[in-house]
Amino acid sequence: MAEGCNHGHSHGGGGGGHGHSHGTPDASDAENSKGLEFNLYLKIDMDSLTCLNEEDEGSGKTVFRAYEKRMDRSKFVASDVDEELLFNIPFTGQVKLKGLLVIGGERETHPNKMRLFKNRPNMSFDDARAKPDQELDVHVDQEGVIEYKPIVARFSDVTHLSIHFPSNHGGAESTEVYYIGLKGDYMQAHRHEVTITAYESRANPADHKTNALNQVNHMIS
């Protein structure tokens, strides 16, 4: 099994499907729970997100959507001149990345590796030749059930995530990605504004004492 890979589901046992126990959440509950977890797409600056080597301009943005819509096969990105895809994903705040899901095309076009880079905005394919912060083997997954675990200590302060898919399982010229799910904690970016403190909001007794003495001296003189 690949580093950081967690299948996150059980295949169930034999015995006529009696692997279900009372009190286990039903499929809809599990779906809702996953949907709440993989919601970081809401924290992506979509206007600034780019996907390099996409065949159709803007198609890379469509793979970041609600978990419940992950099976929508009408929205996907296909690579253009070769099998590589590179996503540059800026967030609107700071993220602690805890999990990823990847749904690709059929086996021959499904990505087989995923290389993650942290806080390197506007990466090019030349930049992606550098050593990634983490590299993961990607398995063929048509339903988004295989969860990949980043090294949280490395991805605890992410403002920009780059995902490089260098190749696919079949050696095809085109790689297809239908859905990328991102899970983690989000912190709103702080605005650095100058705060002006009203120092005179409370009277300073020393000032009044000085004024009183000046008035007395003026009267005496």
Query: What is the span of the domain harbouring residue 125?
Result: 28-196
Mean pLDDT, all residues of the chain: 84
Asked if residues 109 and 174 have their Cβ atoms less than 8 Å apart, the reply is yes
pLDDT of the residue at 28: 80
Portion of the chain with pLDDT greater than 90, in percent: 68
Residue 20 within a domain: no
Count of structural domains, the chain? 1
pLDDT of the residue at 177: 98
The predicted-structure confidence for 145-199, as pLDDT tens digits, reads as follows 999 999 999 999 999 999 999 999 998 999 999 999 999 999 987 765 555 545 4
pLDDT of the residue at 199: 46
Residue 12 within a domain: no
The predicted-structure confidence for 18-53, as pLDDT tens digits, reads as follows 444 444 556 788 888 888 999 999 999 999 999 999
Residue 202 within a domain: no
From CA 151, how far away is CA 117, in angstroms rounded? 12
Task: Check residue 168 and report its DSSP letter.
Answer: B
pLDDT of the residue at 143: 95
Query: Angle 85-87-88 (CA atoms, 0-180°, nearest 5)?
Result: 145
Residue 14 within a domain: no
CATH code at 169?
2.60.120.470
pLDDT of the residue at 15: 40
pLDDT of the residue at 21: 42
Query: What value does the mean pLDDT take over residues 83-110?
Result: 97
Residue 117 within a domain: yes
pLDDT of the residue at 35: 86
pLDDT of the residue at 206: 53
